[in-house]
Amino acid sequence: MMKHLFIAAISYLLMFSCSSQVKKPIAKTITVENNKTQNENGSQIQTMFKLDEGKTQFFKDQEMNVTFVKIGEDSRCPKDVNCIWAGVALVELNVMGTYTRPSTIKLATIDDAAKGYSRSAIFNGYKISLQELNPYPENSESKKANSGKNNITIQILKIAESELENSNTY
Protein backbone atom coordinates (compact mmCIF):
# COMPACT_ATOMS: atom_id res chain seq x y z
CA MET A 1 0.00 0.00 0.00
CA MET A 2 2.79 2.40 0.92
CA LYS A 3 4.58 1.56 -2.32
CA HIS A 4 1.49 2.51 -4.41
CA LEU A 5 1.05 5.77 -2.49
CA PHE A 6 4.72 6.66 -3.03
CA ILE A 7 4.50 5.95 -6.81
CA ALA A 8 1.28 8.00 -7.08
CA ALA A 9 2.89 10.95 -5.25
CA ILE A 10 5.98 10.89 -7.49
CA SER A 11 3.81 10.64 -10.63
CA TYR A 12 1.70 13.56 -9.44
CA LEU A 13 4.77 15.74 -8.84
CA LEU A 14 6.30 14.90 -12.21
CA MET A 15 3.07 15.57 -14.07
CA PHE A 16 2.43 19.00 -12.58
CA SER A 17 6.02 20.19 -12.58
CA CYS A 18 6.43 19.54 -16.30
CA SER A 19 7.57 22.74 -18.02
CA SER A 20 6.61 21.66 -21.53
CA GLN A 21 3.07 22.94 -21.03
CA VAL A 22 4.13 26.36 -19.78
CA LYS A 23 3.17 29.12 -22.20
CA LYS A 24 6.29 30.96 -23.33
CA PRO A 25 6.02 34.75 -23.43
CA ILE A 26 6.53 36.64 -26.68
CA ALA A 27 9.95 38.25 -26.83
CA LYS A 28 9.58 41.93 -26.04
CA THR A 29 11.48 44.41 -28.12
CA ILE A 30 14.23 46.36 -26.42
CA THR A 31 15.69 48.81 -28.90
CA VAL A 32 15.00 50.02 -32.41
CA GLU A 33 18.14 51.15 -34.19
CA ASN A 34 19.08 51.39 -37.88
CA ASN A 35 15.67 50.07 -38.96
CA LYS A 36 16.16 46.91 -36.89
CA THR A 37 14.68 45.75 -33.62
CA GLN A 38 16.70 43.80 -31.10
CA ASN A 39 14.63 41.43 -28.99
CA GLU A 40 15.44 39.95 -25.58
CA ASN A 41 17.47 37.06 -26.96
CA GLY A 42 19.71 39.52 -28.84
CA SER A 43 18.67 38.65 -32.40
CA GLN A 44 17.98 41.50 -34.81
CA ILE A 45 14.82 41.72 -36.90
CA GLN A 46 14.37 44.36 -39.59
CA THR A 47 11.32 46.52 -38.92
CA MET A 48 11.28 49.31 -41.57
CA PHE A 49 10.54 48.48 -45.20
CA LYS A 50 10.11 50.47 -48.40
CA LEU A 51 7.54 49.29 -50.97
CA ASP A 52 6.81 50.58 -54.47
CA GLU A 53 3.22 50.90 -55.67
CA GLY A 54 2.00 47.71 -57.34
CA LYS A 55 4.84 45.58 -55.93
CA THR A 56 4.72 42.62 -53.54
CA GLN A 57 7.40 41.84 -50.98
CA PHE A 58 7.84 38.73 -48.81
CA PHE A 59 9.17 39.48 -45.32
CA LYS A 60 10.95 36.39 -44.07
CA ASP A 61 11.24 37.31 -40.36
CA GLN A 62 7.53 38.21 -40.19
CA GLU A 63 6.45 35.35 -42.49
CA MET A 64 4.13 37.53 -44.57
CA ASN A 65 3.61 39.00 -48.03
CA VAL A 66 2.69 42.67 -48.32
CA THR A 67 1.49 44.28 -51.56
CA PHE A 68 1.18 48.05 -51.93
CA VAL A 69 -1.96 48.02 -54.09
CA LYS A 70 -2.79 51.71 -54.55
CA ILE A 71 -3.42 55.10 -53.03
CA GLY A 72 -7.15 55.18 -52.38
CA GLU A 73 -7.33 58.85 -51.43
CA ASP A 74 -4.84 61.72 -51.40
CA SER A 75 -5.98 65.10 -50.16
CA ARG A 76 -2.60 66.15 -48.76
CA CYS A 77 -1.92 69.85 -49.10
CA PRO A 78 0.75 70.44 -51.79
CA LYS A 79 4.05 72.06 -50.82
CA ASP A 80 4.14 75.87 -50.80
CA VAL A 81 0.33 76.11 -50.58
CA ASN A 82 -1.59 77.44 -47.57
CA CYS A 83 -4.39 75.02 -46.74
CA ILE A 84 -7.04 74.90 -44.02
CA TRP A 85 -5.85 71.43 -43.02
CA ALA A 86 -2.87 69.27 -43.95
CA GLY A 87 -5.03 66.64 -45.65
CA VAL A 88 -4.69 62.88 -45.60
CA ALA A 89 -3.59 60.08 -47.87
CA LEU A 90 -4.99 56.56 -47.60
CA VAL A 91 -3.01 53.59 -48.93
CA GLU A 92 -4.37 50.12 -49.58
CA LEU A 93 -2.27 47.06 -48.77
CA ASN A 94 -2.93 43.36 -49.32
CA VAL A 95 -1.31 41.27 -46.59
CA MET A 96 -1.07 37.51 -46.30
CA GLY A 97 0.74 35.45 -43.69
CA THR A 98 2.35 32.13 -44.50
CA TYR A 99 -0.56 30.31 -42.84
CA THR A 100 -3.38 32.88 -43.21
CA ARG A 101 -5.83 34.09 -45.81
CA PRO A 102 -5.16 37.39 -47.59
CA SER A 103 -6.59 40.57 -46.08
CA THR A 104 -6.88 44.13 -47.30
CA ILE A 105 -5.88 46.87 -44.88
CA LYS A 106 -6.00 50.63 -45.30
CA LEU A 107 -3.44 52.86 -43.62
CA ALA A 108 -3.62 56.65 -43.44
CA THR A 109 -0.99 59.34 -43.05
CA ILE A 110 -2.81 60.59 -39.92
CA ASP A 111 -4.67 59.09 -36.95
CA ASP A 112 -8.24 60.39 -36.76
CA ALA A 113 -10.68 57.88 -35.25
CA ALA A 114 -13.67 60.18 -35.86
CA LYS A 115 -13.04 60.03 -39.62
CA GLY A 116 -11.95 56.38 -39.62
CA TYR A 117 -8.27 57.05 -40.34
CA SER A 118 -5.52 55.05 -38.68
CA ARG A 119 -1.76 54.97 -39.31
CA SER A 120 -1.54 51.33 -38.21
CA ALA A 121 -3.36 48.00 -38.27
CA ILE A 122 -2.75 44.66 -36.62
CA PHE A 123 -2.39 41.56 -38.76
CA ASN A 124 -1.35 38.08 -37.64
CA GLY A 125 0.29 39.29 -34.42
CA TYR A 126 2.14 42.19 -36.06
CA LYS A 127 1.47 45.92 -35.99
CA ILE A 128 1.89 47.38 -39.48
CA SER A 129 2.32 51.17 -39.43
CA LEU A 130 2.57 53.65 -42.29
CA GLN A 131 5.65 55.80 -41.72
CA GLU A 132 5.95 57.67 -45.01
CA LEU A 133 4.28 58.09 -48.42
CA ASN A 134 6.35 59.53 -51.26
CA PRO A 135 6.51 61.60 -53.31
CA TYR A 136 4.82 64.43 -51.44
CA PRO A 137 2.59 66.43 -53.82
CA GLU A 138 4.27 69.52 -55.32
CA ASN A 139 0.96 70.78 -56.75
CA SER A 140 -2.45 69.36 -57.64
CA GLU A 141 -1.19 68.15 -61.04
CA SER A 142 1.75 66.21 -59.58
CA LYS A 143 -0.61 63.71 -57.89
CA LYS A 144 -1.86 62.53 -61.28
CA ALA A 145 1.64 62.51 -62.81
CA ASN A 146 3.02 60.36 -59.97
CA SER A 147 0.38 57.66 -60.29
CA GLY A 148 2.20 54.31 -60.20
CA LYS A 149 5.48 55.94 -59.08
CA ASN A 150 4.56 56.16 -55.40
CA ASN A 151 6.32 54.33 -52.59
CA ILE A 152 5.69 53.86 -48.91
CA THR A 153 7.76 53.10 -45.85
CA ILE A 154 6.08 50.79 -43.36
CA GLN A 155 7.13 49.49 -39.97
CA ILE A 156 6.25 45.93 -38.95
CA LEU A 157 6.59 45.07 -35.25
CA LYS A 158 5.66 41.93 -33.30
CA ILE A 159 3.20 42.85 -30.58
CA ALA A 160 2.46 41.33 -27.18
CA GLU A 161 -0.58 39.12 -26.63
CA SER A 162 -2.09 41.68 -24.23
CA GLU A 163 -2.22 44.22 -27.08
CA LEU A 164 -3.86 41.67 -29.38
CA GLU A 165 -6.78 41.19 -27.00
CA ASN A 166 -7.62 44.92 -27.01
CA SER A 167 -7.35 45.66 -30.72
CA ASN A 168 -9.02 45.16 -34.06
CA THR A 169 -7.11 42.50 -35.93
CA TYR A 170 -7.24 41.38 -39.55
The pLDDT tens digits of the residues spanning 99-137 come to 899 999 999 999 999 989 999 999 988 999 999 999 988
- Residue 131 lies inside a defined structural domain of this protein: yes
pLDDT score recorded for residue 64: 93
pLDDT score recorded for residue 32: 40
pTM of this structure: 0.69
Nearest to 105 by CA among 122, 89, 124: 122
The boundaries of the domain holding residue 152 are 27-165
- Residue 38 lies inside a defined structural domain of this protein: yes
User: How many domains is the chain partitioned into structurally?
Assistant: 1
Which CATH number belongs to the domain containing residue 32 in this structure?
2.60.98
- Residue 6 lies inside a defined structural domain of this protein: no
For residue 117, report the phi and psi dihedrals to the nearest 5 degrees: -100, 135
- Residue 10 lies inside a defined structural domain of this protein: no
DSSP assignment, residue 110? S
Pick out the chain residues at pLDDT < 50.
Answer: 19-34
Whether omega for the bond prior to residue 78 falls within 30 degrees of 0, making it cis, is no
